[in-house]
Every structure is written in C-alpha cells, then in structure tokens.
Structure 1
Amino acid sequence: MSPRGVAIPDLRERLFGAAERIVAREGAAALTSRAITTEADCAKGILHTHFGGVDAFVAELVLDRFARTAARAQELPGRAGQDTVAANLTGVALGLLDSLDPRVVGLALTSNATSRHIRDALAEGSPGFCAIQRALTDYLDAEVRLGRVADGTDTATTALALVGT
C-alpha cells in the first residue's frame, strides 16, 4: 500500500481496473468501496476522497470506457480506404462490446445518482454513443466517396444501427 500523502501513479485506472476485476470475478453486487480499494491495494478512504463515493466512481468508470471507445472510433475516418469496410466496422463494434462489463452498466442504470451523473456528463459533452455514431457516419461517408460503400447508403442510419442507440 502506498504511504499516506504520496501520489499514486494512474490511480483512476488502478481503481477502475480493480472494479472491473471484482465484477468479473464476483459480480456487480460485490462492488463496494472497500472491495475496490482492497483489490487496488490502496487506502480505504481513497475512493471517497477522489470520487465522492461508489455511485460517482461507477459513473466515472462508465464515462471513461465510453471515452476510450469513442477515441478509437474517431480514428476510423482516417482509415477509410484501408483494410476492408467490414473489418474496420467490426473492430469498432467489438471495441464497443468489450469496453465494459454489462454488469457494470446494469449497476450504473439501477442507481439514480449514477445514471444522473452519466446523463449530466454526456449532456455537457463527454463522449458517448453519439460521438461513436458520428465517427462511424464520417467513416462511412468517406467510404462512400471512395466507392467502397454504395452511393445512396444512408450512412447516419447505418451508423445508428451499428452503435445501437
């Protein structure tokens, strides 16, 4: 355990990783602040100090994983014309499916405070499904211009179907 007052490198990711391991191993019901800090080998109060509680922590975990997936999707338009369209879309779709354990999402949806935190952050511009959908639309538009996707394809609807919002 880190001594008190000493900065812990990558604390957020350390706690997020601990939470994901707990959920994978024991299920969402086992996700408590004590379990998370024990798994992360951190001081017991650090989660409350940095996140204000488990609800805010779970919301930040969900938002972090949305942001990672959105960043990956935003690289997609730059890959237009490379590999195959199917392979490029499959990569983003798999990244979206693998970004977060569905049990964590379920936990976030069942807590009013967590859901509100996520909704507020998304409304303020945090990347989520809309950012991923925009990136996919931009990618498909680029592929239409290159002739690798049929002209007249409704790229916005196709992107929406892929993201599933």
Structure 2
Amino acid sequence: MSPRGVATPDVRERLFAAAERIVERDGPGALTSRAVTTEAGCAKGLLHAHFAGFDAFVAELCLDRFARTATGARALSARAGQGTVARNLDTVIRVLFDSGGLALSALAMTRPEATARIRAALGGTAPGFTAIQEALTGYLAAEQRLGRVAATVDPPTAALALVGTAHHLLMTGGADAPDPRPAMQRLVGALLGAP
C-alpha cells in the first residue's frame, strides 16, 4: 500500500485494472470503492480523491475501455492487406469482451447515474460504439479496394451489424451467459461470406 502523502503513479489505470479484476473474479456486485482501493493496494480515499464519486469512477472506467477499443479499431486501416480480414476484425471485437466487458456493462446498467454519465459522454465527443463502427467501415472499405472483401459486402452495413451485435451481447449477457466470442466469429464469417 502506498504511504499517505506519497504520489501513486498511474492512479486511474491502477484503479481501473483493479476494478476489472474484481468484476471478473467476483462479479459486478462485489465492486465497491473500498474493494477497488484494497485490490489496487492504495489508500482508501484515493478513488474519491480522483473521481467525483463511485458512479463517476464506473462511468470513466467504461468510457476508458470504449476509447481503447476505438483506438484499436482505428488502427485496423493500417493493417489492410495484412493477415486475414476475419482475424483483424476479431482482434478489435475481442477487446470489447475481454477485461470484463460483459461484467462492466452489467455493472454500469445497475448504476443509473453511471449510465447517464456514459450516455452524456457518448452523446458528446467521447469515442464509443459510433467511433468503432466508423473505423470498421473504413477498414472493410480498404480491404474491399484490395479485393480481400467481396464487392457484394456493404462496409457500413457490415460494420453496423458487428457493432450492433457486440452491443447487444454486452448489454444482455450475464455471468451465466455463453461466451459471446464464438457468435461474433460466426457473424464475421457470415458477413464476409466465409464458409
């Protein structure tokens, strides 16, 4: 534990990673500010010193993970022509479901104030599903120009189907739900016309 008065490096990420571990291990119901700071090995008040309450923390955690996924999706265009299209898409899609994505979505949905904060941020400039959809559209169009995606595939519709399905699985999945990644892989295959 960091001694009082000593700066804790990378506070946000340290607390976010601790929250993800708790949610993955014990479920969203176990996540409290005290559990997060204990898991992170830092002072009990650190979370409230850096966030305007626990709902703000949950919202910022979800928004941070959306931003990471959007950044990964934007990087796809540079990978056009490399690897396989299905594997490249899978790399981005998996980020949504890894690191407790399902459990974090469930957590945010049980906290109305956190949900309102997330919606407000996504309605503004925060990257979310729309940014991911736009990046996937650009990537699929680039692969189509290279002849690696069939001319019959409509990139904006395929991207919408991928993001919409991921959103649905995140919002309706629970701890006892089947792993959503195989369903997403089948969807990618269906959209790309793979056998």
Q: Which residue number corresponds to residue 97 of structure 2?
A: 97
Q: How does 1:1-165 map to 2 (within 5 A)?
A: 1-164=1-164, 165=167
Unmatched tracts of structure 1, length 5 or more = none
Cα 1:22–1:121 shift into 2, 3 Å = same
> Deviation of residue 85 (structure 1)?
1.1
Q: Is the 8 A contact 1:62 1:100 kept in 2?
A: no
Larger mean Cα displacement after TM superposition, 125-134 or 150-159:
150-159
Question: Identity of aligned pairs, percent?
Answer: 64
Cα 1:16–1:102 shift into 2, 3 Å = same
Q: Is the 8 A contact 1:55 1:111 kept in 2?
A: yes
Counterpart residue type for residue 20 of structure 2: E
1: distance between equivalents of 2:120 and 2:100? 20
2: distance between equivalents of 1:134 and 1:119? 18
Unmatched tracts of structure 2, length 5 or more = 168-195
- Give the root-mean-square deviation of aligned CA atoms: 1.3
Q: Is the 8 A contact 1:56 1:114 kept in 2?
A: yes
How far does the alpha carbon of each residue in 1:55-79 deviate from its partner, in whole angstroms, 9 at most, with x for none?
1111111111111111111100111
Q: How many residues align?
A: 165
2: distance between equivalents of 1:91 and 1:23? 22
> Deviation of residue 4 (structure 1)?
2.5
Counterpart residue type for residue 110 of structure 2: T
Q: Is the 8 A contact 1:37 1:47 kept in 2?
A: yes
**Partner-residue secondary structure (3-state), 2:57:** helix
Cα 1:121–1:49 shift into 2, 3 Å = same
Larger mean Cα displacement after TM superposition, 1-10 or 34-43:
1-10
1: distance between equivalents of 2:120 and 2:85? 34
2: distance between equivalents of 1:105 and 1:92? 17
Cα 1:74–1:99 shift into 2, 3 Å = farther
Counterpart residue type for residue 119 of structure 1: R
Q: Is the 8 A contact 1:66 1:99 kept in 2?
A: no
Q: Which residue number corresponds to residue 176 of structure 2?
A: none
Cα 1:99–1:70 shift into 2, 3 Å = farther
Q: Is the 8 A contact 2:20 2:99 kept in 1?
A: no
1: distance between equivalents of 2:86 and 2:36? 38
Q: Is the 8 A contact 2:23 2:100 kept in 1?
A: no
1: distance between equivalents of 2:112 and 2:94? 28
